[in-house]
Amino acid sequence: MAINFMGSYSGIDQSTIEQLMAIEKRPLIQLSSKKTTMETQKNAWNDVRTRLTNLFDKIKALQNTDTYTAMKATSGESAKITTSKNTPEGTYEISVKQLATRASFIGGKVLTDGQDITTALGVEGKFSINGDPEKPENYIAVTAADSIKTIADKINGLSKENGVRASIIDNRLVLSNVETGETDITLANIEGTVLDKIGLDSAVNIDAVIIAGKDAEFSVNGVEVVKKSNSVKDVIEYTTINLVKEHPAGQSDSIVVTKDTSKVEESVKAFVDQYNSTMSFIEDKMKAGTPGESASRGTLAGDSSLIRLQSTLRSMVTSSLANENTGISDISQLGVSTVDKFGQLSFDSAKLKDALNEDPIAVQNFFSSKNAEGKDIGFSPRLNSYIDSFSSSTGIIKGKTDSFDRSIKDIGKQVDSFTLRMERKEAYYVNMFAKLDTAMMQSESQMGWLTSQISSMTPAKK
């Protein structure tokens, strides 16, 4: 390993060079600080865009017709209704007399002592379940190696075609129709007499049990209805009736279908919450801070675009709006109003409910409708159009972040170039002071030689 004697003669060692370089590198610290500031501002604008996008989505929900057309139904004990936006309003008296059930065939016992469901039965042949003579590929083929379990697996492998599922309960095959309703399970031997040997021939297997399927029987507002399923979609238009249990004779459920205003309330509240969150964030990024405390200053303080965004949003939300399709002129009539000088909003849901009960179409048209020319007008389109000018892929924020990216990239190049210059400068200092040490060492050596020569030429005193 080489030994560094730099500074041995000149007194200028590596620490001295490092001090010189620290002075030389001051512009690098300034560039790094400038880059950090730009990255922080860029990230802040990206955060603003995220919040504006969320606000855009909340406002968009107020344009969605499904928000205003939702229906709801009270819940019955034996019958329930699943509504759609087109379910007719009204009261429905539903009496459930009989639930739909599945037909079942509980096979007889065929296993002897010492056998289990995996024991080979030694039976061969074919049988059909709800068979179609033109589709022999759906027949169940049984081999001597088959057990009750493998036969059940074969049945289930064709359940889609035959409409029957098999299970094993107490060592018996149990067949059940996939669908409910008054439909029998039809079994037939195709080759051999397989059915009686696996317990599925009711004429031979005396302990076999056949349970007939039943149709659902119920009435709606006095109209008697018979259906194969307990979930019925074609009795009340655009509505599903779900039958849960049978009523005692003479009893019924009274189910009321009305408009569901909760979705409008939830959408308005979601808008208010997101608006308040967005405005609070913008306010934080714009704060001037305390003089002398740079950390208290907002990341985007003094940015004219952000100031304009804050001011315009506040004005557009609270100002009156001319709309030919509604008598509601501003959102305060729907329970949304400002509560402080910063523009934070409060929401009175009771006021919105009153407006919805009085004229739901007027409320919907306030948020979004079309004018005579077919153009979208209203609170939501106007506000979202402005938000989009900032948050879209071609908006103001995209332009700002792209500008930051270019500046950050340029600073990066400056830093790389400056760093290279500093490396060369440091190498220059090291080389220069190393040469100085060498020159001083040589000078000292020559001085010693000269001194010795002079001493040898001077006569010694007696």
**Closest by CA position to 194, among listed 209, 173, 165:** 173
Q: Does domain 104-211 have CATH number 3.10.20?
A: no
The whole-number pLDDT of residue 18 equals: 75
Alpha carbon distances (Å) from 352 to 176, 263, 265, 331, 333:
53, 12, 7, 10, 8
Query: What pLDDT is stored for residue 4 in this prediction?
Result: 55
Q: Which residues contact 329 (CB under 8 A, 6 or more apart)?
A: 320, 321, 322, 323
Rg (CA), the chain: 44
CB 101 within 8 A of CB 243: no
Residues 6+ apart with CB under 8 A from 108: 172, 199, 200, 204, 205, 206, 207, 208
pLDDT at 73: 96
pLDDT at 1: 44
Which token pair is 348? Answer: 């009175």
Residue extents of the structural domains in the chain: 28-66+262-398, 71-100+216-259, 104-211
- pLDDT values of the chain reduced to their tens digit, one per residue, 462 residues: 444 555 555 667 777 777 877 787 787 778 888 888 899 999 999 999 999 999 999 999 999 998 998 999 999 999 999 999 999 999 999 999 999 999 999 999 989 888 999 999 999 999 999 987 778 888 999 999 999 999 999 999 999 999 999 999 999 999 999 999 999 999 999 999 999 999 999 999 999 999 999 999 999 999 999 999 999 999 999 999 999 999 999 999 999 999 899 999 999 999 999 999 999 999 999 988 777 676 778 999 989 999 999 999 999 999 998 888 999 999 999 999 998 877 899 999 999 999 998 999 999 999 999 888 888 899 999 999 999 999 999 999 999 999 999 998 888 888 888 888 878 877 877 777 777 777 777 777 777 777 777 777 766 555
Q: What local confidence, expressed as pLDDT, does residue 459 receive?
A: 63
pTM above 0.75, yes or no: no
Q: Are 182 and 213 in contact (CB under 8 A)?
A: yes
What pLDDT is attached to residue 10?
Answer: 63
Cα–Cα distances (Å) from 285 to 48, 280, 390, in that order, read: 9, 9, 16
Cα 190–Cα 194–Cα 199 angle in degrees, nearest 5: 130
